[in-house]
Structure 1
């Protein structure tokens, strides 16, 4: 028998829902308790170095000690060593809270962003989570859109502590500076460009500022915080404010963004300063309005651009579907996740699909896949495959976005019968990279003259 995935603390791995550069994330189900979770799997091979294992073990040590509403909860872990490879797939299995609402930024239209109320609602939650980390002596060091997830009620969860560092001892309050250069260039603080040690809290405060900008603008402010970036140079000189999207920010939120994006870390606004800023202090207009209203407001920009109609056409609206297929937990079927259209109509019924980068076509997979490959190649995207996996055709893709950030993921196409004819259901699953850039790639794909005529809208 081929080796299989182990059961992790009573949970079975049932569906791949994402991943990263070195890991794969599965939806995991405890069928006895009717509970769901996520399981992050990092494979162990003969080439796995001790250094890599120690890095993952440090991540687990830090993450497992954190308990906060806005931090993704660490539930359990199992390590399967190479000596058991005949029975189980060797790896480190981290059981985590399932963020059933998917990526926050998967729901944001590129270059549009979200409204002021949604940005304010999630900024407060992000501040609360990061401030808790700092109280616990932990610096995240990789705050970016792909690490902000939503649970089944739409609550923000900070995830991925692979680059985190302990900078303060809780007992004594003694702090240390950090020296390791890490993070993603569009979100990293400028002081990390020098070789000098840096302070932890201001580096995270900068990341919080970049994310606030990105929520409001639908894009990051620059490629990197150096003179190599035209936008950053204009920001430093003060000339950027007459340009889009800066010119559409009100003076109140602009002063908060500028305070968090202060070049000098000693003068930079602290998280406590941000909490007391007038833009942040006001009462949230969304907090009391319920999950369905929140879901509608988050996806408003996708509805305005027509993107949501393509991801969830009329024929697969939730109220017309039986959403009780392969979903043993009520946390999946929340009003929030249903309003977000996170269930797709497939040949086998409704399925949880936490990616809004998807579409239906009225041609079969064997017809659609070559068109997808041709379009991706034209956009300088590298492709491997297609591979046949079960009833799906899968294409592995990778490339660089306009901010020079690497993205990787999969294009899955499976048969879907529509009005008596064979069509296709296509899902783009991102492993690595900015969710906003991934959405731009999806938009290029469905807008292409060779694919667009086949995309179903009703």
Structure 2
């Protein structure tokens, strides 16, 4: 590929904080794609490039992010990837609710098609989880991040190999990965004399796919890790032969449950094969959202169905999870197999990169760049009418506000004009809200709310004036542990929409966290600070109300 070497023109967040949009110029055409950044060793980067290139060799698969180009300079290695214009799949799925069965069926089929393609190339992904599932502009799934992938099969000879690396994310990994790690630790310490243990990485991929299907249907993982010592849910799953009394399992449709149980058989030799999965009755049933080619048939309807599920019960001050941790963080961290896990998502250090990769909603651009005819005098800035107009504009244009509405229906102003998936389900994060409280009070309230939820909040950058003094921004860096005892980190960005509106936007920008856990944190915070949150006024003719 012939490329003109130019500096990056624009960077913006496309997924978490380790994939950014990069504008460059190829000979003959201007294109957009993504570039990953993060702290990885040269050996890791080169191996990831070779694996990803092998998966994309000959032709690209529609459900796998394409590797477009790669290179290096004296400081950086870089990977130019296909831009997932639809954003993150799991940013659009409600925690503890999931999606309707037909939507789960649509994305599960696309995931299995992507995994089958990888396996046909002799490659196992080994890190299948929500963070690595992105969307195209039409809402089709794109499997991403081959940082932990490995080759396990020589296509020409048919020879396979076992893996011994303990990797993945604990809620999604197969139990034999943990067993392998424990066995090799005992062998290393001289407590056992045996051959090095290993697992079949393609078979562990299928276990992870089953957990993803469960999460799609339920909005939660069935357990924190497949380890009886740390997970009572997994212990019960083993004791009941896959028929636990946990209420989450009761919400899974029977046909899908049959498939999940087959894919979650603890003995790898008895686990459903790829062929058994793809010939299962639930997998084979028709899907109204899917074309004969396996792509989205009606992306607007698909997006509408997903977005209608996103709801926050603002009247419930005791919002909490269906499960609570049964062991302490220290007890969890003390497990020997935990120490063997590599960092599965390279996190851009705070000192190396700007903090806010999440762009403000497009609906707020009018406030940051007001037209010449918009009032700008001090009197107008304090005018209640100007505030009302600003609120009405956001209500008509920002889909994220629908999650605060008691009504399931989305605004007609958006659905009637929609032509593509992204017109309904935006690429930007939906963990955001608006407030009319002065910034100092808003910042103080947010900081107190995060502290009450057990999340540390540290000032990163305060009161940065932009747009000729019309906008100010404050950022809180947040870090803590989620409900599954996994580390999470990100930023809370508080930004004024302009002195003539009296409104501020609050965005929770995920840096390193499970998307559903980040969504869960957002919902808990919103309910905790509901007194400063603006929500649509159901009976006020399209106006707003402060709770």
TM-score bracket relative to the smaller structure? 0.7 to 0.9
Alignment of 1:256-335 (within 5 A): 256-288=259-291, 289-303=297-311, 315-316=393-394, 335=420
Q: CA deviation at 1:133?
A: 0.6
Residues 1:157 and 1:387: Cα distance change in structure 2 (over 3 Å)? same
Residues 1:200 and 1:8: Cα distance change in structure 2 (over 3 Å)? farther
Once residues 188 and 294 of structure 1 are traced to their aligned partners in structure 2, the CA distance between those partners, rounded to angstroms, is 29
Residues 1:185 and 1:320: Cα distance change in structure 2 (over 3 Å)? closer
Residues 1:150 and 1:423: Cα distance change in structure 2 (over 3 Å)? same
Q: 1:70 matched to which residue of 2?
A: 63
Q: 1:142 matched to which residue of 2?
A: 127
Q: 1:443 matched to which residue of 2?
A: 523
Q: 2:48 matched to which residue of 1?
A: 59
Aligned length: 408
Q: Does 365-374 or 128-137 show the bigger shift? A: 365-374
Alignment of 1:162-311 (within 5 A): 162-194=147-179, 195=183, 196-227=197-228, 228-238=230-240, 240-288=243-291, 289-303=297-311
Deviation track 1:157-205 (CA, whole Å, cap 9, x = no partner) reads 1111111111111222211011111111100000112232101111000
Q: CA deviation at 1:317?
A: 5.6
Once residues 145 and 390 of structure 1 are traced to their aligned partners in structure 2, the CA distance between those partners, rounded to angstroms, is 36
Please state whether the residue corresponding to 2:247 is helix, strand or coil: coil
CA contact (8 A) 2:124 2:201 kept: yes
Task: Looking at secondary structure, tell me which structure has more strand per residue.
Answer: 1
Q: Does 397-406 or 212-221 show the bigger shift? A: 397-406
**Does 2:456 align with 1:382?**
yes
**Does 2:398 align with 1:413?**
no
Which among 92, 95, 115 is matched to residue 110 of structure 1? 95
Consecutive unaligned residues of structure 1, counting only runs of 5 or more, are 1-6, 82-89, 322-332, 343-353
Instruction: Tell me the TM-score normalised to structure 2 length.
Output: 0.70
Please state whether the residue corresponding to 1:186 is helix, strand or coil: coil
Q: 1:26 matched to which residue of 2?
A: 20
Q: 1:94 matched to which residue of 2?
A: 79
Q: 2:509 matched to which residue of 1?
A: 429
Q: 1:363 matched to which residue of 2?
A: 437
Consecutive unaligned residues of structure 2, counting only runs of 5 or more, are 184-196, 292-296, 316-360, 364-390, 400-417, 467-472, 537-543
Once residues 314 and 421 of structure 2 are traced to their aligned partners in structure 1, the CA distance between those partners, rounded to angstroms, is 20
Please state whether the residue corresponding to 1:12 is helix, strand or coil: coil
Q: 1:86 matched to which residue of 2?
A: none
Instruction: Tell me the TM-score normalised to structure 1 length.
Output: 0.83
Once residues 429 and 414 of structure 1 are traced to their aligned partners in structure 2, the CA distance between those partners, rounded to angstroms, is 13
Deviation track 1:49-82 (CA, whole Å, cap 9, x = no partner) reads xxx210111111111232311111111123221x
Q: 1:41 matched to which residue of 2?
A: 37
Once residues 107 and 80 of structure 2 are traced to their aligned partners in structure 1, the CA distance between those partners, rounded to angstroms, is 25
Once residues 240 and 172 of structure 1 are traced to their aligned partners in structure 2, the CA distance between those partners, rounded to angstroms, is 41
Q: CA deviation at 1:421?
A: 3.8
Deviation track 1:356-392 (CA, whole Å, cap 9, x = no partner) reads 1111111243332222121111111122213145642
Once residues 233 and 8 of structure 1 are traced to their aligned partners in structure 2, the CA distance between those partners, rounded to angstroms, is 57
Once residues 99 and 31 of structure 1 are traced to their aligned partners in structure 2, the CA distance between those partners, rounded to angstroms, is 18
Once residues 31 and 262 of structure 1 are traced to their aligned partners in structure 2, the CA distance between those partners, rounded to angstroms, is 49
CA contact (8 A) 2:86 2:426 kept: no
Once residues 43 and 173 of structure 2 are traced to their aligned partners in structure 1, the CA distance between those partners, rounded to angstroms, is 24
Provide the aligned C-alpha RMSD in A. Answer: 2.6
